[in-house]
Structure 1
Amino acid sequence: MIEFLTSRSAALLPQKVTGHLGWLRGAIGAALGIACAGAITALVLKTGSVGSGNLAFAWLVAPMGASAVLVFAVPASPLAQPWPLIGGNLLSTAIGLGFGQYLGSPLLATSFGVGTAIAVMSLARCLHPPGGACALLCALGATGSEAWGWDHMLPIVFNVIVIALAGWLYNNLTGHSWPHKAKLSPAVRTSPDIPSTHEALEEVLAEWNEVLDVDVDDLDALFQALRRRINLRNSKKAE
């Protein structure tokens, strides 16, 4: 059990405190993003003062915490890009509300809602884990005593838009392009009969039959940079 729990975490490189991908940068960004999302949503919807316990609408929804982790802490992840953030959350919200209103049963609405949300996000190329939480939350809200309607999408819409704008501004100001762009590396010369690195990587991923949380372009750039570094070391040793 211990080996199972630590096998993946041991592979994670420790993050520095500062720097354009230090953990402090991500923590501050997430705090600012959530603060802006809550304050602006409360102001726009005129739900009352922030912190009040008697609001017509929520000024923040819980899945935005998970979205903030992705957008500010791992902004290079394919799951953290603008379209997954916006499309994943909003499509899943609509799906959860729809199933909740149509089925009426919390158990059926949540199970069908989350499953359908995953399918739709995958087909729309906007897979975003917090989207599953949005579908679950809205299915429960629609089948609960408050009987959430379509107007309950509004807080989520404003939350998502503000976090997207905050992520774009903060990530780019702190040295990380967002939307993420793969770092381009000079191509390493290969024999004409050897397939390109990008093509070979796609073949390997297809053979593994796994979904990895990394873009093929990033893998290609990483492999090219690694091969250049190895070639440089070998050439220095040969001198």
Structure 2
Amino acid sequence: MNLSRRSGGIIPALSNTRPREWLRAAFGASLGVLFSVWLCQEVFGLPVALLLIGPLGASAILLFAVPSGALAQPWSILGSYLLAAVVATAVAHYGGHTLSMAALATGITLLAMFVLRCVHPPGGAVALGVVLAGPALQGLGEMAILPVMLNAAALLASALLYNNLTGVRYPKRPLPAIDLHHTRDRSPELRVGITDADMDAALAEFGEFVDITRENLAQIIRRTEGSALRRSMGEIRAGDIMSRDLRWATPDTTVKEALQLLQHHHLRVLPVLDAEQKLVGIVSLVDLADFAGRAGGRRLLRRGGGQKTPLSEVMSSPVVAVDRHCHVVDLVPMLSSRGLHCLPVLEQGRLVGLVTQTDLIAALHRDLLQHLD
């Protein structure tokens, strides 16, 4: 029996983060606090900086250790610090610097953070600190807002710089939707299954505050679905479903010759290989239609169908490719929402096959039939 079970659930399960991430976050938090306190000290003096250092340390843990959390986003820290400073200075001005006023300021700040969607726990500590502050901060009066916001801005700037330089995307923004067809349709993988409305309804039913952005929740759900599908489909790889008897062209192949190849073999794409059989590009009917749509292309086609125009001027390059061990589940988003009609399969840099949308549909259909048996 593990420790978390023997402790009756008091000790949580092990974190999914790695020790390397622990070190990254710890070093970043140290740098962020050091820079923020130093800057506040330079502007407002050491006594003021020391009075505000407690909330700063708590905020640093959120911004560097859990930067994907809703509580750690830029508006959370800026909004909460501003609300806390404004509320605390107002309460202290009218009610005095007492414990009861500090508690009142904390409660009002929390309510305001909920309303303005900037919940950030250290904001409560800011409210307490401003009301119960020593003479150095009390002497600033309403201007106590300035060192509070300087701390928030300096720590946020540190987190923005450090997190992104160390490979952690911050702040967490929803990935832009890919609108290949310029319509209002959602991407194919989002038209079935769990929707944003479903997640909103579940969170509303849950009722409590959940420290995760909806975008990150959606990513967790999609990855969980992918993991379950990968387990369900077994070891079906690109090498199992790819087409092997390929037709290809070279960079010197003309547009007319490429059209003839595509028409004769009823293909939509042609890989383009150089003299060493390396994949250097790919040409599709869309590329050729785009060429024909240009004024020069139309004239060429009328005069002879692109007899002199090489594919090197028309093909798409570089090419998105996979290796033969790529799982079929990983192929689905590439061929469904990225506008790709096929994926070249490479082995040691050489083209060994193509996985088309038709190949993928056939594999998914076969797997479905097997599960129905």
Alignment TM-score > 0.5, same fold: yes
Name the structure 1 match of 2:83. Answer: 91
Name the structure 2 match of 1:15. Answer: 17
- Is this contact kept in 1: 2:67–2:73, CA < 8 A? yes
Amino acid at match of 1:181: R
Instruction: Considering fraction of residues, name the structure with more strand.
Output: 2
User: Which sections of structure 2, spanning at least 5 residues, go unmatched?
Assistant: 1-5, 178-186, 236-366
**Counterpart Cα distance in 1 of 2:15 and 2:203:** 23
**Counterpart Cα distance in 2 of 1:214 and 1:38:** 28
TM-score, normalised on structure 2?
0.54
2:85 paired with 1:80: no
* Alpha-carbon RMSD: 2.7
Name the structure 2 match of 1:125. Answer: 117
User: Which sections of structure 1, spanning at least 5 residues, go unmatched?
Assistant: 49-54
Matches within 5 A, 1:43-192: 43-45=42-44, 47=45, 55=47, 57-58=48-49, 60-104=52-96, 106-141=98-133, 147-148=138-139, 149-182=141-174, 188=189
- Is this contact kept in 2: 1:188–1:228, CA < 8 A? no
Deviations 1:174-206 (A, max 9, x none): 111111135689864765xx6x43222222222
Amino acid at match of 2:216: D
**What is the Cα deviation at residue 65 of structure 1?**
0.4
**Counterpart Cα distance in 2 of 1:146 and 1:75:** 30
**Counterpart Cα distance in 1 of 2:161 and 2:137:** 36
**What is the Cα deviation at residue 216 of structure 1?**
1.8
Residues 119 and 187 (structure 1), Cα distance of their counterparts in 2 relative to 1, 3 Å cut: farther
- SS of 2:212's partner is coil
- SS of 2:132's partner is helix
Residues 158 and 231 (structure 1), Cα distance of their counterparts in 2 relative to 1, 3 Å cut: same
Name the structure 2 match of 1:28. Answer: 27
**What is the Cα deviation at residue 98 of structure 1?**
1.2
**Counterpart Cα distance in 1 of 2:97 and 2:156:** 33
TM-score, normalised on structure 1?
0.82
Instruction: Considering fraction of residues, name the structure with more helix.
Output: 1
- Is this contact kept in 2: 1:187–1:224, CA < 8 A? no
**What is the Cα deviation at residue 100 of structure 1?**
1.3
- Is this contact kept in 2: 1:84–1:127, CA < 8 A? yes
Residues 145 and 61 (structure 1), Cα distance of their counterparts in 2 relative to 1, 3 Å cut: closer
Name the structure 2 match of 1:200. Answer: 198
- SS of 1:181's partner is coil
Amino acid at match of 1:157: M
Q: Mean Cα displacement is larger for which, 204-213 or 31-40? A: 204-213
Deviations 1:198-224 (A, max 9, x none): 222222222222221111221122111
Q: What percentage of residue pairs aligned between the two structures are identical? A: 30
Q: Which has the larger radius of gyration?
A: 2
Amino acid at match of 1:15: T
- Is this contact kept in 2: 1:74–1:80, CA < 8 A? yes
**What is the Cα deviation at residue 154 of structure 1?**
2.6
**Counterpart Cα distance in 2 of 1:44 and 1:64:** 16
May I ask how many residue pairs the two structures share in their alignment? 221
Name the structure 2 match of 1:209. Answer: 207
**What is the Cα deviation at residue 159 of structure 1?**
1.1
Amino acid at match of 1:58: A
**What is the Cα deviation at residue 44 of structure 1?**
2.7
**What is the Cα deviation at residue 108 of structure 1?**
2.5
**Counterpart Cα distance in 1 of 2:190 and 2:36:** 48
- Is this contact kept in 1: 2:84–2:124, CA < 8 A? yes
Flag as ranges the 4+ runs of structure 1 deviating above 3 A. 144-148, 182-191
Amino acid at match of 1:108: S
Q: Mean Cα displacement is larger for which, 133-142 or 116-125? A: 133-142
